[in-house]
Structure 1
Amino acid sequence: MRKLHADEADIDENLVRRLLAAQFPQWARLPVEEFPSSGTVNAVYRLGGHMSVRLPRVEWGVGDVEKEREWPARLAPLLPVPIPEVLGRGVPGEGYPWPWSVCRWLDGDNPVEGRLGDAGPLAKDLAEFVAAFRRVELPDGPAAYRGGPLETQDTATREAIGKLGGLIDTAAATAAWESALRAPAADRPVWVHADLMPGNLLVEDGRLTGVVDFATAGVGDPACDLIVAWNLLPATARDVFRDALGADDATWERGRGRALSMALIMLPYYLGTNPVIAANARHVIHEVITDLS
């Protein structure tokens, strides 16, 4: 498995087989194959035809395991498309130091920015998913990752811009970011997924069939879930998404700023290790700057 972070655990198919044999012998004879995910926190392995194994790559991703074991089960009945279901709760063993999970496999392919064709139906599906998430009223929800005020990302965003000279139009990126910072804050927090990247979406025949990776989910700024308008949807479908969701100007501005901030921070970090994430980050930066030009 290619490593994305300096402090990653050593994970491979042999480790996964040993963990299964020791803790879930009923699944130990099923085929195990590394899944080429663009995810950055968990390693994913296909287990047979209907399951997957998810293992945190790094210690700072370990806290997500319990969150993904608790909240998706409570959210699933409230959302319009399937989301992950945990079938087995693994514990440290075989030299692997952290908890891990066996999940039900969800069919579908990750959409790719710039290759969607008619994205109008998908835009409406995404708006329906976001709207359903916002209607969730589960009490005591965790704080969404990156779900606080936009200005909490200011230092990291500007530091990232400083690393990108020669790779992007840093002046235009700075102007776009400062424009987003001027947008009024959210009236109230709502439930959000907070990481609607293409790698966390599943589609078939141009329609949304599933959403994965709920480690970032929780209560926060509703603009968090607008990032998909720039990291995936073409300009022709962006208005379809906005109209279906009824996003006001302030929320739209913050959403664009959140998409930009994420892209700016990810690009220098993953430039040499994760080409899928780096390409998407470049795409977002271009789309946001073009949006405002």
Structure 2
Amino acid sequence: MSGSNPWDAEWEVSEVLAKHLVYSQFPQLSQESVRLFGHGWDNTVYLVGDRYVFRFPRRSIAVPLLETEGKLLPMLADRITIPYSKPLFYGAGTSEYPPPFLGYDYLPGTYPIGLTDGQRLSSARTLAKFLKELHAFPVLTARENGAPSDHRNLTDLASRKEKMVRHLADLKGYIRGEDYRLISDYLQQLTTDRVEPKEVFLHGDLHFKNMLVDEKGRISGIIDWGDINIGHPACDLNVAYSFLPPAARTSFFQVYGGIDGETKLLARLIAVFIPMMILHQAVTDRDEAIADEAINNIRRALAD
């Protein structure tokens, strides 16, 4: 594996530091326990008591995104129908830890790992309605409150393909031969270099580690909004391919609305790209459950 990864932290937040930051800035929480909940590429997450989750940026790139999130997420309360992370506590940077941080209501649920096709189908229309509502949020309002525009240049398929080829080479010794060939064949057949830009308000990082399900496997929450931006709807619509099996997509698009060929092409590409990145990190972290779900996401995305 390569020595520099996009999830390498610039700021490490220990439990001792997290407690100090939370207790000193929010004394009303000083009797609550603070324990590590996990981390993503951009943030370290701590559970405070059993009611709140605090996210601390791990990388400088996450800071302006967190600040934008703090402004925009409260505006979604009356617009979307799936529970989501609403900021309640706005923490300020200190000499020990320079960036700001946010605290939210804790959303119960688990990652959608190992669900049956039937369980996934049961959430198709709910997920489609959520994205239809989210993508209808006024772009001008989002922009006025700091949402960046396609800050990852997702419509450049040629550049994205190059990154995927490199990651696939890194993964060759860690995945089954048939999975390697499946991804390799897909990338070889991908000849479109770019799609036309479109602008809607996006979650921006929608994948199984940012989704929660209840005990029956139904979608119950959307978390980690640190990549909200204005860009191509395919960025979020990737879940129609990575999360949903082929049989559920008709139901999804009946609610969301039809999409054109370029949107479908880009959505499927992202449905392979994001799980590849998650798989790369899971292999590094030796997290077999996440690695297995990531490769299953890719298989679903390329199933038809």
Change (3 A) 1:226 1:122: same
- Cα deviation for residue 181 of structure 1 reads 4.8
Which residue of structure 1 aligns with residue 108 of structure 2?
A: 107
Which amino acid in structure 2 is aligned with residue 197 of structure 1?
H
Per-residue deviation at 1:277? 4.3
Q: Distance in 1 between matches of 2:161 and 2:99?
A: 32
Secondary structure at 2:300 match in 1: helix
Q: Return the TM-score normalized by structure 2.
A: 0.82
Preserved CA contact (<8 Å) 1:225 1:255 = yes
- Once the 2 structures are TM-superposed, how far is the Cα of residue 85 of structure 1 from its aligned partner? 1.8
C-alpha separation between the residues in 1 aligned to 2:130 and 2:191? 26
- Kept in 1, the 8 Å contact 2:55–2:103? The answer is yes
- Show CA shifts across 1:229-254 (max 9, x none): 23322333233223332233332222
**Deviates further, 244-253 or 132-141:** 244-253
**Alignment partner, residue 212 of structure 1:** 223
The structural deviation recorded for 1:274 is: 5.8
The structure 1 segments of at least 4 consecutive aligned residues displaced by more than 6 Å after TM superposition are none
Q: Distance in 2 between matches of 1:182 and 1:239?
A: 25
In structure 1, what is the equivalent of residue 21 of structure 2?
Answer: 19
Cα distance change of structure 1 residues 8 and 187 upon mapping to structure 2, 3 Å threshold: closer
Question: Retained in 2: the 8 A contact 1:147–1:221?
Answer: no
Identity %: 27
Moved more, 166-175 or 26-35: 166-175
How many correspondences in the alignment? 288
Show the counterpart of 2:79.
78
Aligned to 2:294: 281
CA gap 1:78/1:8 in 2 versus in 1, 3 angstroms = same
The aligned residue for residue 250 of structure 2 is 239
CA distance in 1, matches of 2:208, 2:152: 18
Indicate conservation of the 8 Å contact 1:85/1:104, yes or no. yes
Secondary structure at the aligned position of 2:244 is classed as coil
* Alignment correspondent of 1:143: 149
Alpha-carbon contact 2:167-2:277 (below 8 Å) kept: yes
Aligned partner of 2:65 in structure 1 is 64
Cα separation, 2, equivalents of 1:289 and 1:128: 24
Residues 286/116 of structure 1: CA separation in 2 closer, same or farther (3 Å cut): closer
* 1:179 Cα offset (Å): 4.4
Is 1:249 matched with 2:261? yes
Q: Is the 8 A contact 1:195 1:225 kept in 2?
A: yes
Determine the structure 2 residue equivalent to 1:127. Answer: 128
- Which sits farther off after the overlay, 167-176 or 186-195? 167-176
Change (3 A) 1:184 1:92: closer
Structure 1 Cα separation of the partners of residues 283 and 191 of structure 2: 26
TM-score using structure 1 length: 0.85
Per-residue CA shift, 1:107-130, capped at 9, x if unaligned?
Answer: 333221444643223011111111
SS of alignment partner, residue 243 of structure 1: helix
Cα distance change, pair 193–185 in 1 and its aligned pair in 2 (3 A): same
8 Å Cα contact 1:263-1:285 kept in structure 2: yes
What pairs up with 1:149-164 in 2 under 5 angstroms? 149-151=155-157, 152-164=159-171
| Matching of residues 151-190 of structure 1 within 5 Å | 151=157, 152-166=159-173, 167=175, 168=177, 169-182=179-192, 185-186=195-196, 188-190=198-200
Deviations for 1:36-58, whole angstroms, at most 9, x for unmatched residues? Answer: x4633212111123211111123
Over aligned residues, Cα RMSD in angstroms?
2.8
Hey, what's the Cα distance between the residues in 2 that align with 1:286 and 1:211? 23
2:32 counterpart of 1:30: yes
**8 A Cα contact 1:112 1:232, kept in partner:** no
Q: Which runs of 5+ in 2 are unaligned?
A: 1-5
Specify the alignment match of 2:88 in structure 1. 87
CA distance in 2, matches of 1:110, 1:103: 18
